[in-house]
Structure 1
């Protein structure tokens, strides 16, 4: 009799947790996809940061002065529950460092400044003006918002990986394994993923909704990352772009990247 009570209690506990998790997932899915499941959650508030087209400017000169710094990467991955798989081939990356010649294979030539060619640069999703990933997604799990942010709804992703094949920047990662056991200290304020879905940088749209800048920008103590409205000619990002020579990744493909690099 006692065993039956314990089993029944465990069953009810599991059922209640599943119900709560299901409701939370549905609400999160609505928030991520912009559907009307939680219409009030996606409407900008008086405190929300809004823009015609969000853009990120990365000053590689500042990053080069602090080559050991990984604050933006660590902060982003911690907030977004990015797992750390021991096997490199299963690696999940939202923002990371790579060598200049890998990031800009078409801009490099033999007369480049040697210092520039030796730099490591920060790379991430470029939130393209014309994102090829959006065109190939069969379920609209990836879509572009009016403010230029290219979103990724992990709840709607079916794991076809068409978007990964279409992205010319390698900015998307696929969960070959269940990521949850590889997250040491889960951030309960942000959803974890499951095996078989794609994920990537989403320009911290949730933080913008709260009136805060992206996690990576706030984590950078040296001021190498600047986030702002590319559609506003008086914004800080436009001021930097007018003042300093800058490049973007693989612009010859016509994607229109929203991430700029001052070199």
Structure 2
């Protein structure tokens, strides 16, 4: 009888503890920033980038790769050395591949023949989020599309759904291929998908994305697309910009000045 009573009390205590922690668990599961906010974090409703390729190209042609190199170091991106297994967060594509439906035979040569910086578009309507069976891919309230590496089961549905080729799959353990380990950022495992996170680890501590900070040409502008007074919105207002595959209705958060 005493044993049964003791077990009942243990069960009751566990049930009460479960009720106590349930709001916090639900908060994290619902991507509720209330439990995660750093007081220094940058506040925005929809973060995005405006990339001025006219500023970028002269530096790029002179050999500048600072945005790529910095991103690789900051986020422990492995250098597999195999094109088929390459892990890409920020890279370049020729105009015809980046903007397949926005070209014609009489295009300006500097646009047609120069590479374009590409990365995850952090779409306002991301198809990758809709297809993920484990909700490992989700969109934060500030518009950044994220991957929970622990929930990712490697099904690659998100890769198939992404129309921009912005996701990479770890076919092997990436850790032996990291040249300069950054202990402040988590490494990934074999069998998970990864991509650009727009440097949420920096945004959440009050800093802009690393590629924005290190660009010597100031070609990448970061800002809240919902804020009419942000520098990004001012550029969009005053300069002609294009987006990748806008006809798909994903509403990318990356714009290009050409």
Report the CA distance between 1:219 and its aligned residue. Answer: 1.3
Q: Distance in 1 between matches of 2:30 and 2:247?
A: 38
**Structure 2 unaligned spans of 5+:** 1-23
Q: What residue in structure 2 maps to residue 97 of structure 1?
A: 92
- Bigger mean CA deviation after superposition, 69-78 or 171-180: 69-78
In structure 1, stretches of 5+ residues that fail to align are 1-29
Relative to structure 1, the CA distance from residue 244 to residue 38 in structure 2 (aligned partners, 3 Å threshold; closer, same or farther) is closer
Alignment check: 8 A CA contact 1:179 1:195 kept? yes
* Shift in Å, 1:44: 3.6
Paired with 1:130 and 1:39, the residues of 2 have a C-alpha distance of 20
CA deviation vs aligned residue, 1:114-150 (integer Å, no higher than 9, x gap): 1111111100000001000000000010000111100
Larger radius of gyration: 2
Answering whether residue 228 of structure 2 is matched by residue 233 of structure 1, we say: yes
> For the aligned residues, what is the CA RMSD?
1.9
- Deviation sequence 1:39-90 (CA, Å, 0-9, x none): 8872141x21010110100001011111221111110111100000022111
Instruction: Please say if residues 125 and 171 of structure 1, whose CA atoms lie closer than 8 Å, have aligned partners that are also in contact.
Output: yes
Alignment of 1:58 onto 2:63: no
What displacement does 1:198 show? 0.1
Alignment correspondent of 1:160:
155
- Equivalent of residue 171 in structure 2, options 158, 169, 176: 176
Count residues with an aligned counterpart. Answer: 231
Contact 2:31 2:140 in 1 (8 A): no
Within a 5 Å distance, the mapping from 1:13-24 to structure 2 comes to none
After superposition, what is the alpha-carbon deviation per residue over 1:234-257, rounded to whole angstroms, capped at 9, x for unaligned?
110011111111000000000000
Distance across 2 between alignment mates of 1:183 and 1:232: 38
Q: 5 Å matches for 1:135-146?
A: 135-146=130-141
Whether 2:211 is the aligned partner of 1:216: answer yes
Give the alignment's TM-score, normalised by structure 2: 0.86
Question: After TM superposition, where is structure 1 displaced by more than 6 Å over at least 4 residues in a row?
Answer: 36-41
Shift of 1:176: 0.2
